[in-house]
Structure 1
Amino acid sequence: MTDCTAGALEMSVFPFMVFLFFTNELVLVSSETAELPSRITALSGSCVQIPCTFEVPEDVLKNAERIFGFWIKNYPFPQPWVVYNGSTNISKGFSRIEITGNLSQRECTTVFYDVMNNHSDNYYFRVEIKSPDWKYTYMNPIKISVSDSPQPLIFKPTDLKAVMENTTVSLSCSAEAPCPKQPPTISWSNIPESAHITTQLQEKPDKTQSVFSHMTFKASYMDHRKNISCTATYPRKTSKNSTVETTVMLQVLFPPKETNITINQSTSVSVGTNVTLTCKSKANPSNNMTFSWHKHGQDNQLDLGEQLIFTVNRSSGGWYFCKAKNEHGIQMSKEIQLIMEGSVSSLDQSLIIGCVVGVSAILLTFFLITLFLRVQRVKASTIMETDVSDQGQEKQMQTIYANGGFVSGEELEMPKDENDIVHYGEIDFSTPQTKITTVQGSGQETVYAEVRGPGKEMNQD
């Protein structure tokens, strides 16, 4: 039994002596303190970690053989109760208590598991050292408050002002982590597309911990009036609510976007028809946004205002557009075409002209190709006829020379038969013509050629 427990038992019998005992102990340890938070809020069905360090004389700690830690509830009044005895490692009133700190290094961090609502109270830390015997109860307690609901999230900035489009926005969300062994998880919902998120467990100045989540993104007009939520979910052993959430609405300033025109009827109208064109656009701020109307091909604007209302006449056909403007910029809508019934639109005219030009180009190309092929065939035929003529003349000249009987250094062979009659021809080279003589004889037809040359004659013997 520890001194503290003995003192508790003696209190009912010898209250005055017990008071003196605790008073004497307080005097002894008045210069020594334990460093721990003054209060901490735990979640029922979960655990709670108490960060703790303590002071002890150096010579006592240096010579210590064994060190034990204790946690005492309601010390010194009205009745002290040892909820954890380090010498026997016994917990009372709790499923389990564990000192995770290294007592020889003056660390007394402790985890209380499965805390319930009846565990809310003040708790004191006590240390006992053997050889030499030294006992201290530190008189600065920690107040543990147990709640059925998680603590509210801390969202920053607390006052989220409107931000300009394309600027970087930073949001942070932190949740208390009274039980770092089972920390809450943080999730974001409805986040912007460009968001980057980092989450980590952080230690606060009082040594307690929290889960801190940081999100950055570039503001877009599509994020305007978006409700961004941060949710913390706590693991626990009860069926009660274990989540806590906070939501902030994002305000983004931007120039006109998605500007377009709507018409109250078909774009094909007839003379005398009433037409209403409406200009729609997104912008922030939008209460001071202005609209102007224009027609393609006209320098002057048609009108001001969100709507353009007019009665159609013969000159009303054409392309219309509007411009939306606020303090941050201006945007022009896409053009909308108003077509007069019975008339051909400029687009149809363009299509017709394009088709005619395309067909004409194809026909012209076909004609040029045909003409080219025909010219090539005529040239090829002319060249062929020339080659045939040249070949005929060459062949004819070969025949003439063969019948001319030019002999050099050889005698003419006499006919072997007397019936064979030899006829001689004469060749005149003085004129560019050749005389051909045909002689009939002995049933055979012999052709002779006469060639005459200048200053030279060949006489028949």
Structure 2
Amino acid sequence: MKVYQTVMAALTEHMLTVNMLLSVFFLPGDLTDYCYGGKPALNLTTPNNMEALTGSCLEIPCTYETDHATYDSSKTIYGVWLKGGAYFGANSRVIFHSSGSINNYSLDLIGNLKEKNCTTLFPNLTTKHIDKYFFRVENGGYKATACADPLQITVKDSPWSPSINVPSDLKEHQSVTVTCSAFTPCPHSPPELTWNLQQDSLRQTEENTDGTFTTKIQETITLSDTHDGYNITCSAKYPVIGGTKTAETEVTLSVSYAPRNTSASISPSGLVSAGSWVELSCSSRAKPPPRFTWFRISRDGDMNVSVGQIFSFNVTEGGEFHCVATNHLGNDSSSRICVTTEDSPRSPSINVPSDLKEHQSVTVTCSAFTPCPHSPPELTWTLQQDSLSQTEKNTDGTFTTKIQETITLSDTHDGYNIRCSARYPVIGGNKTAETEVTLSVSYAPRNTSASISPSGLVSAGSWVELSCSSRAKPPPRFTWFWNSKDGATNVSVEQVYSFNATEGGEYYCVASNDLGNQTSSVVQINIEGSFPFLIVLLAVIVAIVLIWLLILVW
């Protein structure tokens, strides 16, 4: 114990002497052996291991700390680097002394020792630099080596591959930032980064939290389905003595996107016999792979008939089908395909714009599937008979024959049935299919009229019912008005207006919808014994008398 205390005292006060004595008894070994079991009088903060590139430089981030009483920052401070061991003495491998007395590897201590910063630049490294290094501080009577904080330097011939950082779970329409980063052992001579993204990306060299450096370039891109499978390549070119050394990294983007290019096919193609098997197949480009749903087009709309990429069934009648590909990012529908049986032709389709209104000029189209454009079907309908027939090629390579007519709508077109027939020429004659649609046209009120019950004279205080009728689509709203001395007065907003008659008067109704309004003629309520009524009666009698007098005179 006494020997140990003597050794420890000598270690802190006379490090040089103690190191020389202990070197006789101990050989360098693991980390604790460098301090010979004692507490170090100098602590160093630096990476435990650092890699360098042959022919390049290496900046060692370095700070030190000591709480020893003899350390005095007001005095001159020297920094010393030892190679291979912490021992400092006659046989120690001192490679650098900041006094300038020793500098075997042309090191440059660029840190400020007064601020306890011992950052050092190693230039032009070779494999002979591979070893453990220890830092030592000499400050007047204080001389100590950071024996517990060795720095292992490794020198390699091939540069480090850069890293490409891409966010996870990429989806189309996302805006993401892609970063290419390269380890930078020497920030004074950083690597040049290039990639197959935008070439003018700004290069930045940043200090990491541990004092090392990283050079990076960034680019923000908006993803689409075309980026899925795209290879991003980034190269890091390091300047070294006599030229450059290059390393490259490549990553492949995996981008999720909604279904694209959805198409449907049929086997066998062409006419099929009733009772035979048909296979419909759906394909789509999507990520993740889509689910498939098959629909049959009927007069009542699309009917779900199957779930799965393949839909096989026994044909009993012709029809139109399409498939929908769906994943969590969206869906896409194929074009329609037709299953045509040999026994029955396909019915034509009549296309009429939705939300029809009077006074609109609309184009009505009758279309028929045309399996043989050289012998197209003959189309006829209940509209103008001289409509020009045209056979057109569709985007999927099939053909359609159509006729069109432009009509100006009126209320008389509401409920009008348009029938279109397609007559297909076949061996031995022809086969005909027909389609009918009924127009639904909105129009303003028409034929608005008002009626009274009971009609004729009514007794004062009796109930009277006024009724308004009108032809309109959508059905109209009704408003009743009374012509008073002060003008027209709104008295009711119902189709039927019932009230207790106390005096006579004129009434009329107005029918309204979102397309217009119309006013009825006036109805008169006459009260028995009322003054207006007596005046009218007297006027009638006087008129009759005058007529008879004129007859007698003549």
Using structure 2 for the length normalisation, give the TM-score: 0.46
Instruction: Pick one of 207, 214, 222 that aligns with 1:210.
Output: 214
Determine the structure 2 residue equivalent to 1:331.
332
Determine the structure 2 residue equivalent to 1:285.
288
Distance 1:110 1:338, change over 3 A: farther
Determine the structure 2 residue equivalent to 1:39.
49
AA aligned to 1:174 is S
- What SS class does the counterpart of residue 389 from structure 2 fall into? helix
What's the CA shift string for 1:221-247, capped at 9, x where partnerless? 222233444443322236785314252
Determine the structure 1 residue equivalent to 2:120.
110
Determine the structure 2 residue equivalent to 1:349.
389
How far did residue 146 of structure 1 move? Answer: 1.1
What's the CA shift string for 1:101-132, capped at 9, x where partnerless? 12232221111011111211111223334xx5
Separation in structure 1 between the aligned mates of residue 190 and residue 267 of structure 2, nearest angstrom? 59
Task: Report 1 or 2 for greater relative contact order, CA contacts < 8 Å, sequence distance ≥ 6.
Answer: 1
Residues 1:86 and 2:98 aligned together:
yes
The answer to whether the 8 A contact 1:161-1:251 is kept is no
Matches within 5 A, 1:377-392: none
Separation in structure 2 between the aligned mates of residue 297 and residue 345 of structure 1, nearest angstrom? 23
The answer to whether the 8 A contact 1:150-1:244 is kept is no
Distance 1:338 1:321, change over 3 A: farther
The answer to whether the 8 A contact 2:134-2:151 is kept is yes
Kindly tell me the number of residue pairs found equivalent between the two proteins: 327
Residues 1:138 and 2:138 aligned together:
no
The answer to whether the 8 A contact 1:98-1:110 is kept is yes
Distance 1:303 1:32, change over 3 A: closer
Which residues of structure 1 form unaligned runs of 5+? 1-9, 358-461
Residues 1:247 and 2:251 aligned together:
yes
Determine the structure 1 residue equivalent to 2:260.
257
Separation in structure 2 between the aligned mates of residue 127 and residue 241 of structure 1, nearest angstrom? 36
Determine the structure 2 residue equivalent to 1:175.
182
AA aligned to 2:208 is K
Determine the structure 2 residue equivalent to 1:100.
110
Separation in structure 1 between the aligned mates of residue 200 and residue 267 of structure 2, nearest angstrom? 44
Matches within 5 A, 1:53-72: 53-55=63-65, 61-64=72-75, 66-72=76-82
How far did residue 356 of structure 1 move? Answer: 11
Instruction: Pick one of 221, 232, 237 that aligns with 2:225.
Output: 221
What's the CA shift string for 1:162-218, capped at 9, x where partnerless? 4444345555553321111122344444x6x9x997753333332122234555544
Moved more, 298-307 or 39-48: 298-307
How far did residue 263 of structure 1 move? Answer: 8.5
How far did residue 31 of structure 1 move? Answer: 2.8
> Which structure carries more helix by proportion?
1
Which residues of structure 2 form unaligned runs of 5+? 1-16, 338-368, 380-386, 392-400, 407-554
The answer to whether the 8 A contact 2:42-2:65 is kept is yes
AA aligned to 1:120 is I
Distance 1:323 1:137, change over 3 A: closer
Distance 1:276 1:233, change over 3 A: farther
Instruction: Pick one of 233, 240, 250 that aligns with 1:236.
Output: 240
Separation in structure 1 between the aligned mates of residue 227 and residue 110 of structure 2, nearest angstrom? 46
The answer to whether the 8 A contact 2:291-2:325 is kept is yes
The answer to whether the 8 A contact 1:280-1:306 is kept is yes
Determine the structure 2 residue equivalent to 1:149.
158
The answer to whether the 8 A contact 1:292-1:324 is kept is no
Matches within 5 A, 1:383-422: none
- What SS class does the counterpart of residue 118 from structure 2 fall into? coil
- What SS class does the counterpart of residue 205 from structure 2 fall into? strand
Residues 1:166 and 2:173 aligned together:
yes
Instruction: Pick one of 173, 184, 207 that aligns with 2:191.
Output: 184
Separation in structure 2 between the aligned mates of residue 126 and residue 198 of structure 1, nearest angstrom? 40
Using structure 1 for the length normalisation, give the TM-score: 0.54
AA aligned to 2:330 is G
What's the CA shift string for 1:355-379, capped at 9, x where partnerless? 999xxxxxxxxxxxxxxxxxxxxxx
Distance 1:209 1:302, change over 3 A: closer
Separation in structure 2 between the aligned mates of residue 32 and residue 230 of structure 1, nearest angstrom? 42
Distance 1:299 1:137, change over 3 A: closer
Determine the structure 2 residue equivalent to 1:442.
none
Task: Give the structure with higher Rg (CA).
Answer: 1
What's the CA shift string for 1:286-338, capped at 9, x where partnerless? 2x52153656978456975767999x9xx98x997543334543222356864
The answer to whether the 8 A contact 1:29-1:138 is kept is no
What's the CA shift string for 1:416-460, capped at 9, x where partnerless? xxxxxxxxxxxxxxxxxxxxxxxxxxxxxxxxxxxxxxxxxxxxx
